[in-house]
Amino acid sequence: MNLSPVKLLPTCKDYIWGGTRLKTEFGKGGNLEKVAESWELSAHKDGESVISGGKFDSLSFSQYIERNGKGCIGENAEKFEFFPILIKLIDAADNLSVQVHPSDDYALKYEGEYGKTEMWYVVDCEKDAFLYYGFSKTISKEEFKERIENNTLLEVLNKVEIKKGDVFFIESGTIHAIGKGAFICEVQQNSNKTYRVYDYDRRDKNGNARELHIEKALEVTTLAPAKPYETENEKILAKCKYFTVEKFDCHGTCDIKLNKNCFRSVIVLSGEAKLKVGDSELDIKKGDSIFIPAQNGVATVTGTCEAIVSYV
């Protein structure tokens, strides 16, 4: 098995609320006019990452894993039926829909894929940017349904002003929405299952309203404020049974600890550096997504950069 780190090219999505920062600042999206999301680490059927460069160039991420054997993702990830996580960069030029994600139990039973617990790291945001995170109070299912029907749902959501560096942990069942002007790194379960409950009466390019999923949302939504979430130290942004996410800042020479139990995903948010694992070396820069196969040792980073490091 090749233990060298590899660069990944994302699948990009041009949803109606997307902006241009992923194109202009990160060089993503090709001919798309706007890029709402770039799926930086993905083995999901709705949009896989692709290996860029080296002996595995142009393989899909799933093909890369198949070629190298599951040992490259590590024992922790092998325990999951599917590759466990999906990592995105999100540019919200407009408000995203108010939505909720199902739990594993519900999604595996009715949708044939995992549920979706996720975390957000605010990479950047405009002044006065905000998001919705849970309810402002506990409500009944009847009130929830009534407020969806009469377009007063926003009145009972917890609206939070955001700033660069903020972290939010969104457990499945938590109602939420990213607001206009937010640029987010999202680490989530490997799922693309979203139930929309409110979408500002927006229309697509053909004049059609986007689909809502009211009945399913009524079954899976936690009708209460989101639980406070704290991690054991400030370096760890989020930790749960699905993923651990760390903030990595390097000025000079720094190490990322590796082990054979799990891969490491590195999403470079700013700067440039060299990343060395054993005899392999990669030049990395803002916007790069790096997959480091599971192995004992360290990845040595030399330069100045800011990154998100994720593993299971």
- Residues annotated as catalytic (active site), given as ranges: 196
> What is the C-alpha to C-alpha distance for residues 100 and 175, in angstroms, rounded to an integer?
5
Mention every residue, 6+ apart, whose C-beta is less than 8 A from residue 290. 5, 6, 7, 8, 265, 266, 267, 268, 275, 282, 284
Q: Taking a C-beta distance cutoff of 8 angstroms, is the pair 244, 311 a contact? A: yes
> What is the C-alpha to C-alpha distance for residues 29 and 119, in angstroms, rounded to an integer?
23
Distances (CA, A) of 60 to 10, 74, 138, 170, 226: 10, 19, 44, 28, 36
| Of 163, 82, 168, 83, the residue nearest 129 (C-alpha) | 163
Q: Taking a C-beta distance cutoff of 8 angstroms, is the pair 305, 272 a contact? A: yes
| Of 196, 170, 192, the residue nearest 115 (C-alpha) | 192
| Residue bearing tokens 């549920």 | 115
| Of 204, 208, 161, 196, the residue nearest 180 (C-alpha) | 161
